[in-house]
Amino acid sequence: MKPTVVIGGGVVGLFTAYFLQQQGEEVIVVDKGDMEENCSTGNAGMIVPSHIVPLASPGMISKGVSWMFSSKSPFYIQPRLDRRLIDWCLQFYRHSNAKHVQQSIPYLKGISLYSKQLYLDFVAEHGNEAIKLQDRGLLMLYKTKEGEKDEAALANLARESGLNAEILSKEDIGKLEPNQEVDVRGGVYFPDDAHLSPRDLYRLLKTHLQEQGVMLKSNVTITGVEKNGRKIKAVITEGGKIDCDHLMVCAGSWSGEVAKMLGFRLPMMGGKGYSFELPNTPELKQASILTEARVSQSPYGGKVRFGGTMEISNHVDMVNIRRVQGIFESIKAYYPEFKAEFPAQDSIWKGMRPCSPDGLPYIGKAPGWENVAFGAGHSMMGVSLAPATGKLLADLKIGKLGELKMDAFAVDRYARK
């Protein structure tokens, strides 16, 4: 039997390999990068069943237009003549409505809760010392009346959907952050959310897979595929051919390019984000999102990671320092006593998050192919949804169908339009 090849060595690809290997299958993971630093290592590490509203939602259009005019704003689209970008933006606009949000909620809720449980199972098997999972919930902090209105509406929506959500006063928040003044109007607490160390999770997954005989191949450039009817026989790379029985595409923001090789359309844009770590002084205890600034804050004992921005851009390797300044300035706005020094440029992480135009991931079989599946387009929720995506793809490989609703994640939802 030939191996299953997983294209993409990020956390989604590694969890896919993890569950395939558990089924006793031979697996090869290939990645175009060095498998050291990627979107799986520098993000906030949040596990967020509370995030039931997709990126494409009514408020994003009005806010996005105003943000376009600020160099420090949380959202930016680099203007350029690019047919793929224009198409993506049109699709994003068409999906930014209340009907799409309501239709998406049960799907996002289902896969998020499933993923959270798989994380708890993972910790039960491998221990928590390495990945530092903190099952302490998430705070959504707001400073303005508008922010209060938006977050209260989200809390009510979450409750109506069967999730736990608590609206907190500034005094309530002070009890969760006893070491800090938190300069906010209030917040919403989602007790069922969690966070972990994404870099440590990534290292643990790589080590475990290698110990189990999974081959990890870095710096591999894929140039094509070898076909036999409706099946892929091999992946063609600059270094030679890799035979395969099945192909799992978990290539993040580059998954659209692989889809193009396979002859179908998969709208995807890279949304660049930035993060940096600072000494956690005075110590923050609670993972939070600073809602008006769209900045995440994840504490890990002596360190805390701040991250944010969504920059739809072609400049993969460039750090836009003005956007990093926007993240940095939000720290003092919410935590005036926090001792923050602007990070050195070489310590600023950057990564391209894979964004579908409707804000939902692509998970399932590839159109026109019997032995190809995709798991991509998770936007800012790659770490949160990685275990569920990997398990669903592994189950799909052996024809196992679960109870989770999946049709909203169909890989061919744009290919058939």
Looking at residue 65, its pLDDT comes to: 55
179 with 324, same domain: the answer is yes
277 with 186, same domain: the answer is yes
SS3 312: strand
SS3 137: coil
185 with 294, same domain: the answer is yes
Q: How many domains does the chain have?
A: 2
Distance, in Å, from the CA atom of 273 to the CA atom of 75, rounded to the nearest integer, reads: 10
Looking at residue 58, its pLDDT comes to: 76
Looking at residue 143, its pLDDT comes to: 97
Q: How is residue 79 annotated by DSSP?
A: -
Residue 107 lies in a domain: no
Residue 112 lies in a domain: no
204 with 290, same domain: the answer is no
Residue 387 lies in a domain: yes
Phi, psi angle pair for 186, to nearest 5°: 170, -165
Looking at residue 315, its pLDDT comes to: 63
233 with 325, same domain: the answer is no
Looking at residue 62, its pLDDT comes to: 57
Residue 338 lies in a domain: yes
150 with 58, same domain: the answer is yes
69 with 150, same domain: the answer is yes
- The overall average pLDDT reported for the chain is 92
For 122, the token pair is: 């993972």
Distance, in Å, from the CA atom of 343 to the CA atom of 321, rounded to the nearest integer, reads: 10
3-state per-residue secondary structure call for 210-235? HHCCCEEECCCCEEEEEEECCEEEEE
pLDDT tens digit string along 364-384? Answer: 999 999 999 999 999 999 999
229 with 329, same domain: the answer is no
- Name the residue with tokens 């939602």: 57
Residue type, 398: I
Q: Which of 116, 105, 122 is nearest to 52 (CA)?
A: 105
Residue 111 lies in a domain: no
- Name the residue with tokens 């939000």: 330
Distance, in Å, from the CA atom of 139 to the CA atom of 324, rounded to the nearest integer, reads: 22
Spell out, as residue ranges, where the chain has pLDDT lower than 50.
none
32 with 148, same domain: the answer is no
Distance, in Å, from the CA atom of 201 to the CA atom of 41, rounded to the nearest integer, reads: 8
CATH of residue 241: 3.50.50.60
All residues at 6 or more sequence positions from 221 whose CB lies less than 8 Å from its CB, including other chains: 32, 237, 238
Report the interhelical angle of 11-22 vs 382-397 (nearest 10°). 30
Q: Which domain holds residue 236?
A: 4-40+200-266+359-409
207 with 243, same domain: the answer is yes
36 with 73, same domain: the answer is no
